[in-house]
Every structure is written in structure tokens, then in C-alpha cells.
């Protein structure tokens, strides 16, 4: 809890501007962000490579990542509303992996699965106290993988051999998007549940968020929630002088604290 409270301060750094929501003649504009205390687990495999992210492999440190977003809603029929979101998601760690069947001691490992979502959506149900959004997102990854370490003595040679593995993680998905928004009149309290998921044929993503929010009468508010992200990715990695196809099965999850401003 102490780490989560301290994340409130970090959340401000992720805000590209005060979160604002201006509903004038049916228009609503919103911009904001949150600090996300993230654990990263999973496995990386392919072409003789085996990496477990956890206590039995590379132990990834928990850390505060973040998200910023902006959205525009309007009253024009048929034309979709727009939401753009970017998630900063990078964790580091160290431990042991297996490259080409040989054990490899990782002194520094970094996995970056940061991504941008461009979402077009409609609100077919808006009852004031409850709204339902549905649409589609393009998720654009802009991440990377990097391991630095050495093969221990007696594995690929009598002496330790230092090397590194690098890879860009940059697939693009088409995802389905939906959001359920429950508001308690007068209190300023609300609950939102957001689900995003889909595939590009060989890679998939499932992303779910639930949060409780409070909005003051002047529009300044905060939200406490939890986000879970499950992704299967594939990329080409450079290991030494060789190129290999690498598959990633990764889970990122943890609580987040958001700041926003609504008029």
C-alpha cells in the first residue's frame, strides 16, 4: 500500500496536461494518465532459447510504469468517438536463461512492451447513470528486448563468454474494445470496466481494466484500479551474430492510481 500511495506522486509526471472533460453542446474532451505498479511474468522461447520470467529464471523487478490518454466524444451520429492512449511498460531483471541449449547468466535484462492504442468507438447506450461503449482499437507496440550476460565457464568454452541478445518488439494488432461506465448520481463516485482483446492471426492480446473513481464538483478527480495485460508476441532477435525468431508469452498486472480533471 505504501508503494501504491507513493505512485500517486509519480502519476503526475505521466500527465501530458491536466485531465479535462468539457461537455459543451454534446462534446466531451478528456485527457489524463495514471501510474501503474507493474509485475511482469511469462516466458520467452524459440530457436533453442528458453527464458522464464520468475523466481526460476530471470527475476523481473516490479516497478511503476504509466499511461497517458486523450479522448474526444461528440454528438454527431454514426461518426465514431476517438481515444488515443499510450502505455509506458518496461521492466528489468537478472537471472539465468538458456540460449541454444546452453545456460546463460543474465546480468541485465530489460523487456519493453510499451504500446499505443488508437481507438474508435460508439456509445449505443447512454442512460446518464450507465453508459456502454463499443468499438475497435489498433494497438501499436514500440518495445524491445535486451539481455546482457555471459555463458559460464565449461559451457561453450573453458572460459566465460560474454554476449548479448537484442530484439525490437513492434507488431500491430486490431483489437475489439468495450467499456462499461456506472455512475452514482450526486456522489461523484463511479465504476468503470474496460476490456480490449484480439489477434493479428499469430499474435494475441487480452487487456482488462477495472477502477473506482471519484470526481469533485470542480472536475478534479482520482481513480484507483487494477489492470491485467496478457500478450503473445513474436519478433526477430539478434543473438550474437545470428538472427532467430523469438516468441513471447507475457503477463503484466498490478494496481494503478489515476489523476484527472472534468468540467
Rg (CA), the chain: 21
Residue found under cell 504500446: 115
At residue 85, φ and ψ (nearest 5 deg) are -135, 140
| pLDDT of residue 136 exceeding 60 | yes
pLDDT band at 14 (very low <50, low <70, confident <90, very high): very low
The predicted structure's pLDDT at residue 163: 79
At residue 37, φ and ψ (nearest 5 deg) are -80, 110
Residue found under cell 454514426: 78
pLDDT per residue as tens digits for the range 61-119: 999 999 999 999 888 889 999 999 999 999 999 988 877 677 888 888 899 999 999 99
The predicted structure's pLDDT at residue 239: 56
The predicted structure's pLDDT at residue 243: 67
Among positive and negative, which fits the CA dihedral 209, 82, 257, 187? negative
What is the distance between the alpha carbons of residues 92 and 223, in angstroms, rounded to a whole number? 27
What is the distance between the alpha carbons of residues 118 and 231, in angstroms, rounded to a whole number? 17
Q: How far is CA 196 from the centre of its chain?
A: 11
Bridge partner residues of 227 (DSSP): 209, 254
The predicted structure's pLDDT at residue 90: 96
| pLDDT of residue 7 exceeding 50 | no
| pLDDT of residue 126 exceeding 80 | yes
The predicted structure's pLDDT at residue 105: 86
The predicted structure's pLDDT at residue 237: 64
| pLDDT of residue 159 exceeding 70 | yes
Nearest residue to 197 (alpha-carbon basis) of 213, 185, 186, 208: 208
pTM for the complete prediction? 0.85
| pLDDT of residue 22 exceeding 50 | no
From 119-128, 135-144, 150-159, the region with the lowest mean pLDDT:
150-159
The predicted structure's pLDDT at residue 233: 86
The residue-averaged pLDDT of 127-154 equals 90
The predicted structure's pLDDT at residue 135: 97
pLDDT band at 17 (very low <50, low <70, confident <90, very high): very low
pLDDT per residue as tens digits for the range 211-251: 999 988 888 889 999 999 999 988 776 555 666 778 889 99
| pLDDT of residue 209 exceeding 50 | yes
Higher pLDDT, 177 or 148: 177
Q: Where are the domains of the chain?
A: 2-261
Across 145-159, 162-176, 190-204, 231-245, which has the greatest mean pLDDT?
A: 190-204
pLDDT per residue as tens digits for the range 28-63: 888 899 999 999 999 988 766 778 888 778 999 999
What is the distance between the alpha carbons of residues 36 and 88, in angstroms, rounded to a whole number? 9
The predicted structure's pLDDT at residue 129: 92
Residue-by-residue DSSP string for the chain: -HHHHHHHHHHHHT-SS------BTTBEEEEEEEEEEEEEEEEEEETTEEEEESTTSEEEPPEEEEEEEEEEE---SSSPEEEEEEEE-EEEEEEEEEETTEEEEEEEEEEE--EEEEEEEEEEEE-SSEEEEEEEEEEEE-EEEEEEEEEPTTTSSSS-EEEEEEEEE--EEEEEEEEEEEE-TTT-EEEEEEEEEEESSS-EEEEEEEEEEEE-TTSEEEEEEEEEEEEEEEEEEEETTEEEEEEEEEEEEEEEEEEEE--
CATH number of 2-261: 2.40.128.90
Amino acid at each position: 500500500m505504501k508503494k501504491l500511495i507513493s505512485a500517486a506522486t509519480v502519476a503526475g509526471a505521466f500527465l501530458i496536461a491536466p485531465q479535462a472533460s468539457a461537455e459543451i453542446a454534446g462534446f466531451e474532451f478528456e485527457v489524463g494518465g495514471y501510474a501503474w505498479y507493474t509485475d511482469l511474468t511469462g516466458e520467452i522461447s524459440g530457436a533453442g532459447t528458453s527464458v522464464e520470467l520468475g523466481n526460476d529464471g530471470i527475476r523481473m523487478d516490479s516497478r511503476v510504469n504509466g499511461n497517458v490518454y486523450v479522448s474526444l466524444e461528440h454528438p454527431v451520429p454514426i461518426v465514431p468517438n476517438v481515444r488515443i492512449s499510450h502505455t509506458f511498460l518496461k521492466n528489468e531483471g537478472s537471472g539465468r536463461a538458456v540460449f541454444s541449449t546452453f545456460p546463460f547468466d543474465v546480468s541485465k535484462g530489460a523487456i519493453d512492451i510499451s504500446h499505443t492504442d488508437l481507438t474508435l468507438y460508439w456509445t449505443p447506450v447512454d442512460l446518464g447513470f450507465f453508459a456502454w461503449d463499443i468499438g475497435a482499437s489498433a494497438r501499436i507496440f514500440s518495445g524491445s528486448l535486451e539481455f546482457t550476460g555471459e555463458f559460464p565457464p565449461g559451457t561453450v568454452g573453458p572460459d566465460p563468454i560474454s554476449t548479448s541478445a537484442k530484439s525490437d518488439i513492434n507488431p500491430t494488432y486490431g483489437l475489439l474494445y468495450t467499456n462499461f461506465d456506472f455512475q452514482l448520481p450526486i456522489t461523484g463516485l463511479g465504476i468503470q470496466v474496460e476490456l480490449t482483446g484480439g489477434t493479428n492471426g499469430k499474435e494475441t492480446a487480452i487487456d482488462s481494466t477495472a477502477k473506482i473513481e471519484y470526481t469533485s464538483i470542480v472536475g478534479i478527480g482520482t481513480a484507483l484500479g487494477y489492470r491485467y495485460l496478457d500478450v503473445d508476441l513474436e519478433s526477430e532477435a539478434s543473438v550474437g551474430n545470428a538472427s532467430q525468431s523469438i516468441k513471447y508469452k507475457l503477463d503484466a498486472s498490478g494496481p494503478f492510481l489515476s489523476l484527472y480533471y472534468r468540467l
